[in-house]
Structure 1
């Protein structure tokens, strides 16, 4: 079982404790590795704290993180909310420092183009699925676009647990039949985050935690990335 730390995400810049600068993200990366995280997922930001895929911002964040935690795989988001379609692809094509992998959301219109670009750049891919329709779309794409993915994420980012869990289970069951060789990461968001960490443990999936997904420990106390990762590691039995 693998635990990923998701350090900042699309949270508002004024979220308490949220790392925004390269140095702050690097510091939380260091704390997360010490707490039990095996890899990282980050959303680079610009000087104003806004999410960015611009080559200088991506390079600054990746370089800082790799100095802080050498050898630790680090991935970034390619979410289509970050920049308009054309500008996003241009920025990604212009990266001078490359992430180990990127997350690609299958619900986004240009997901096939992003997958193809990552293949040309030699960057690993983390496939994000939030619905059964996302899985249908993935399976309809040419195998060359996704069969070499790093992993598939089942992302339950909305809804209550009693609605989200059956959806996640159906996607998981189909994936284990349709893509049995790919690792599967399962995670929730806010109110469902810790339930899905426990579900990932019980279902034999990888999972993730961090301020992108959750601002509080299981007991309701606010916490930073290091403490969140440490709590997840204990829940998963990775601290033994």
Structure 2
């Protein structure tokens, strides 16, 4: 186990309408920023951020929404590390009549579009989903060529890519990107467990994925839904860092909705400390991840 374990909070995610189930899921930039600060106060060193249309609550790629969230967090004076998503722009569903065409609800976008907010806002970290996989209603498409283009643009902006892998083959592809020099410096991996239809959230699967990573890599892990807290314990025991949040799980216990991201972070802190480790501060997380100094 790590002496100091980083906790990340994934605040809102990109699912269509989770706030219909749990109204604590933040929607507006003000709500997302407020959740970020609350999660940090509870023990999170990193906040992982998607944005939503304030009117509809649906996931968005609008640059102005990212700008407002990041501005609000930075204006507060918080030292929490900001991790922006680059996942939106990879959703594909074939048209029902002509499968050679994308359906109207597909969101495929160019590499440049998917990272425009990264280049402008320069967060500490951003996700890079090394994954092409099936979701129940669509395919999530990230081809190696586009991943390499995005990785280059991200790193040119001075931002650290977090390599999100959902299955063993994704971990293999991400490792090859490190070995071929596409990912520079000390790599950071996120093992995403229990997402349909990728690797189930089991100890055996997390161990296999961890063992596929290059030597010396920093990694974290999380599980969705009922897998969330078991995977916190599993990642910590196996030498990784952890993630929780309303993006991944809406409940604090079976049948009991979480009151917010802070409550989920507090439970992760309890697990980490019960296992004998300490929770990393943002400054300690910056050192562990070998990030540039805070401005």
Give the TM-score, by structure 1 length: 0.87
Q: Supply the distance in 2 between the matched residues of 1:66 and 1:157 (Cα, whole angstroms).
A: 33
Matched, 1:118 2:141: no
Matched, 1:2 2:37: no
Matched, 1:171 2:240: no
1:40-98 deviations in Å (ceiling 9; x for gaps): 10102233333233322221111112223522111111112394222x62352365322
CA contact (8 A) 1:35 1:226 kept: yes
After TM superposition, the structure 1 stretch with the greater mean CA deviation from structure 2, 42-51 or 104-113, is: 42-51
Q: Unaligned 5+ residue runs, structure 2?
A: 92-105, 132-141, 280-295
Residue 44 of structure 1: aligned partner: 51
Q: Supply the distance in 2 between the matched residues of 1:180 and 1:102 (Cα, whole angstroms).
A: 22
1:111-162 deviations in Å (ceiling 9; x for gaps): 22211110222211100111111122123336332142562011114259x9
Q: Runs in 1 of length 4+ with deviation above 4 angstroms?
A: none
Structure with higher Rg: it is 2
Residue 112 of structure 2: aligned partner: 89
Higher helix content, 1 or 2: 1
Q: 1:2 to 1:91 in 2, by over 3 A?
A: closer
- Count residues in correspondence: 234
Q: 1:153 aligns with which of 190, 196, 202?
A: 190
Matched, 1:201 2:224: no
Q: Helix, strand or coil for the counterpart of 2:54? A: coil
After TM superposition, the structure 1 stretch with the greater mean CA deviation from structure 2, 143-152 or 104-113, is: 143-152
